[in-house]
Structure formats: structure tokens, C-alpha cells
């Protein structure tokens, strides 16, 4: 196939994309702009052609060597800049033919401090090619720039960025063949936490219809106010004209200030209740209940979430290698922590949603690649949805698994997830041995 440059005539103005491997893309589109420590401003309409042929900048972030050990050099070669409020749209080559297509909006994880929406191992090509979806991958502000409210910066700036991206989708996605009335948020880890909180965010009404929440650390969302104040005090003063290098260098101080906070210290940056666009913490459960009729929910976790963090943390990794009973005791702690942070809160979220009249499905991913010390850990679900052999080759997470086996294991998962994005419904029970289990949660069913 000869690559061409498709021109998308959006209401915001013409966008020139690019074609690759049988799909069409528009990469690095600026959906909003924001001054340091200020809320985003929607990108204005433009008469000239917007060149969307290359990835946009990544939010500046503090490197994490341990994370790189697990996920490989994911950010190698990327440009870092605060002008990072960008998104990438991937669509089938016949996007302009037939009825509008369901839209997935991908919200990446990374503990609210790392990553970007359009990394190579998040490539939605398999979902788009097999299922005919339109996928939007969003990058937003992280860490010190997006999720630490202090004297000079409102909290939840990254969450406001995501709302701006969803407004862009509503205005423009039809030009890419997408159906603005069938938008599904697909969030992983902190991205799943963000997606769950967007359900009750001020200004989110009508921006999306469904949510798929992978490994959302909902068990860490509550009781964070005191920790947030301590983190803000640890970096004060931090005016907007502080050099970027100084802002990033303050992040370890903020993280150290959170260490007394128990499990929450494992993800010190995050959403803050009572700051725009979120309600007070005491009002959040009722707000989720009130929103339940407006959203279909598919939520779940992997079989052994916290093993990911045990493997990448050198002290815990050494304990895993010791003779029994030490590894068995550590595994018990991993299992208990996984249940408290991810598995239990996911089940509770699904039950509350169903009782309030919403449609909810609860899933579990037991997938365990051969030869992987990570096992069925946090992030092991991602290659079942995204990426290619080339993208995942440098990632130790997959152990000795051959990519054709991973791709085959993921194909029915992609089918079910696309069906959910299209209709909000799945079979009451799904069992893919060694890969996926899904069950509808009964409540006040529609």
C-alpha cells in the first residue's frame, strides 16, 4: 500500500493526517493549551491546515529506572514539552463509509506521573483493524504539572485536560468516522482512576457513554487530603515562573512527604476531591450512584496486580528469590494488597453501580505469559488490547511468550471490548481459560 495523507475536514478546521499499515491517523493534535499551573483553554478553530503527521510532545516527567526495567525504553526518542495537551486519532481506511463508528478514548496509566497516550505499545492498530473502531489516545499533564494542587496551582489540572480532550472529541470525531454519541473511556491504572472520577466530574455530562476501567487503584482514592497538604507544603514556594527543571526536581520532596500515608504513598499524586471538577469526598458515593443510569461500566483487574511492583522494587525482588517461606509470605502480602487496592474496590464499584440501576460487568485477567516473573501482574492485560510484536519485544513483562500466542489470546478480548463499546452489553458470563473471565453484576437491571 502506498501511504497517502488524508485530509480530515473537522468543525475546528482541516487536519492533515497520515496513512500507515492500512490505517489512517492524525497524530499530535493540540486539543487545548495551558499556561503553567493554569486550567486548559480549548484549542480555537483554525482556517489553515493543521499538520497532524507526527506524535506530539510528552509531558515532562521524572524518569523511573525501575519502571523502565519492566516496560523497556518506552519514551526513548520522544520530545518532552509542557505543550503536551495532544491527542492522536486512529481510524480504519474506510472511516468515511457506512454508519458512524463507536469511539474508544484511551487514558494511559503511570501513577499520574509517567507515560503518554501514544506510546508504541499502546498502538490501537489491532482494535481498529479487527473491530473497525475509532480510537483516540490522549496525553495530559502529569505529576507536578498536573496533579499537585498548591498555593500557585489548582488541583486536578490533568483531569481538566481530559475534559478538554473529550470536548474536542464531541466537536470533531465525526470527521474521522466516529459516533459522538457512542464514546467509551478506556482507562488503565491511574487512567482508570481518572475515568471513574470523570463519571462524576462537573462538565462531563454528555461527553461519553461508557467506561472500561482496567486495574483502577480505587482503593487509594479516599482519605488523601492530609497527604496532599503535606506534599504541597514540602514543595512550597513554587510560583509559575519556576524553571521546569526545578519543578521536576521538587517531585521527590513531595513523594517523601507522603511516605507516612501507608498504601496511598505508593501513588502519592492523584485526584483531589472538593477541587474542580470533583465534588467533596463525602459526596462522591452519592454522585456515582446518581450517575449510574447514564453509564455502562466494565471494570476489573488482573490476577496478581501488585506482583508488578514487587518485581521492579529491588528489595522485594530479592525476597522473592529467597527460599521458602519468605516468598510465600511476600506473595500473601501481594495478594492482600492487590485485593485491597484493586480487586475489592472494583467489585464494590460494580455492585454499587448495578444497585443504582446502571449496567455493570466485572472482569478478571489471569493471563500469565510463560517464563515471566511478573505472572498475572499489573499491566499484563495491555498486550491483549494494544501494540505489535515490535513494540512489545523489548518489554520484559511478556517473558518467553511468542507474539503470535499473545495476539491470538487477545483477539477475543478485543472482540468483547469492542462489542461493549458499540452496545454497552456483553454475555452474562464469559470464560476464556487462562485469559479472561467476565460476569454481569446484577442489580436494578434495565
Q: 277-282, long-range: CB within 8 Å, 24+ apart, which pairs?
A: 277/156, 277/159, 277/160, 277/163, 277/201, 277/202, 277/203, 277/204, 278/156, 278/159, 278/197, 278/200, 278/201, 278/202, 279/200, 279/202, 281/222, 281/223, 281/225
For residue 114, give Cα distances in angstroms to 86, 101, 186, 267, 313: 15, 30, 17, 12, 17
pLDDT for the residue 8: 98
The residues carrying an active-site annotation are: 189, 305, 378
For residue 184, is it within any domain? Answer: yes
For residue 1, is it within any domain? Answer: no
**And the C-alpha cell for 99?**
454508519
With a cut of 50, list the residues of the chain below it in pLDDT.
Answer: 1-2, 445-446
Farthest CA pair distance, the chain: 67
Q: Which of 254, 375, 388, 311 is nearest to 67 (CA)?
A: 311
- The 10s digit of each residue's pLDDT in 396-433 is 899 999 999 999 999 999 999 999 999 999 999 999 99
Q: Which domain holds residue 47?
A: 7-441
- The 10s digit of each residue's pLDDT in 33-61 is 999 999 999 999 999 999 999 999 999 99
For residue 2, is it within any domain? Answer: no
For residue 107, is it within any domain? Answer: yes
**Domain count across the chain:** 1
For residue 64, is it within any domain? Answer: yes
**And the C-alpha cell for 209?**
457513554
For residue 75, is it within any domain? Answer: yes
Collapsing DSSP to helix, strand or coil, 272 comes out as: coil
| DSSP secondary structure letter of residue 271 | -
For residue 352, is it within any domain? Answer: yes
Residue 157's domain is classified under what CATH number?
3.40.50.1820
For residue 446, is it within any domain? Answer: no
pLDDT for the residue 271: 98
pTM over 0.85: yes
Amino acid at each position: 500500500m502506498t501511504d497517502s495523507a488524508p485530509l480530515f475536514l473537522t468543525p475546528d478546521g482541516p487536519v492533515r493526517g497520515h496513512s500507515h499499515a492500512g490505517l489512517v491517523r492524525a497524530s499530535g493534535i493540540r486539543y487545548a493549551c495551558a499556561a503553567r499551573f493554569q486550567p486548559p483553554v480549548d484549542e480555537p478553530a483554525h482556517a489553515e491546515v493543521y499538520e497532524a503527521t507526527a506524535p506530539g510532545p510528552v509531558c515532562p516527567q521524572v524518569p523511573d529506572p525501575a519502571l523502565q526495567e519492566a516496560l523497556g525504553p518506552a519514551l526513548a526518542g520522544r520530545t518532552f514539552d509542557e505543550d503536551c495537551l495532544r491527542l492522536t486519532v486512529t481510524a480504519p481506511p474506510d472511516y468515511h463509509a457506512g454508519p458512524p463508528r463507536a469511539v474508544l478514548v484511551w487514558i494511559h496509566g503511570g501513577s499520574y506521573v509517567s507515560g503518554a497516550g501514544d506510546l508504541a505499545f499502546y498502538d490501537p492498530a489491532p482494535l481498529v483493524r479487527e473491530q473497525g473502531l475509532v480510537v483516540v489516545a490522549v496525553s495530559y499533564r502529569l505529576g507536578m504539572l498536573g496533579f499537585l494542587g498548591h498555593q500557585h496551582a489548582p488541583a486536578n489540572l490533568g483531569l481538566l485536560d481530559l475534559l478538554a480532550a473529550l470536548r474536542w472529541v464531541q466537536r470533531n470525531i465525526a470527521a474521522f468516522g466516529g459516533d459522538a454519541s457512542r464514546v467509551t473511556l478506556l482507562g488503565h491504572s491511574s487512567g482508570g482512576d481518572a475515568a471513574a472520577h470523570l463519571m462524576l466530574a462537573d462538565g462531563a455530562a454528555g461527553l461519553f457513554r461508557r467506561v472500561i476501567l482496567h486495574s483502577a487503584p480505587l482503593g487509594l482514592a479516599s482519605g488523601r487530603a492530609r497527604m496532599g497538604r503535606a506534599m504541597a507544603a514540602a514543595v512550597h514556594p513554587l510560583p509559575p515562573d519556576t524553571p521546569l527543571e526545578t519543578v521536576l526536581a521538587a517531585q521527590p520532596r513531595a513523594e517523601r512527604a507522603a511516605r507516612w500515608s501507608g498504601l496511598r504513598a505508593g501513588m502519592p499524586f492523584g485526584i483531589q476531591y472538593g477541587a474542580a471538577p470533583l465534588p467533596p469526598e463525602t459526596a462522591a458515593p452519592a454522585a456515582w450512584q446518581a450517575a449510574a443510569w447514564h453509564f455502562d461500566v466494565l471494570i476489573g483487574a488482573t490476577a496478581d496486580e501488585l506482583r508488578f511492583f514487587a518485581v521492579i522494587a529491588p528489595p522485594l525482588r530479592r525476597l522473592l528469590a529467597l527460599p521458602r517461606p519468605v516468598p510465600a509470605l511476600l506473595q500473601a502480602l501481594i495478594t492482600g494488597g492487590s485485593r485491597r487496592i484493586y480487586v475489592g474496590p472494583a467489585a464494590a464499584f460494580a455492585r454499587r453501580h448495578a444497585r443504582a440501576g446502571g449496567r455493570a460487568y466485572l472482569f478478571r485477567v489471569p493471563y500469565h505469559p510463560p517464563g515471566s516473573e511478573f505472572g498475572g501482574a499489573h499491566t499484563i492485560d495491555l498486550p491483549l488490547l494494544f501494540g505489535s510484536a515490535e513494540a512489545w519485544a523489548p518489554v520484559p513483562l511478556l517473558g518467553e511468550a511468542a507474539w503470535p500466542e499473545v495476539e491470538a489470546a487477545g483477539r477475543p478480548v478485543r472482540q468483547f471490548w469492542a462489542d461493549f463499546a458499540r452496545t454497552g452489553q456483553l454475555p452474562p458470563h464469559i470464560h476464556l481459560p487462562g485469559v479472561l473471565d467476565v460476569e454481569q453484576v446484577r442489580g436494578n437491571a434495565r
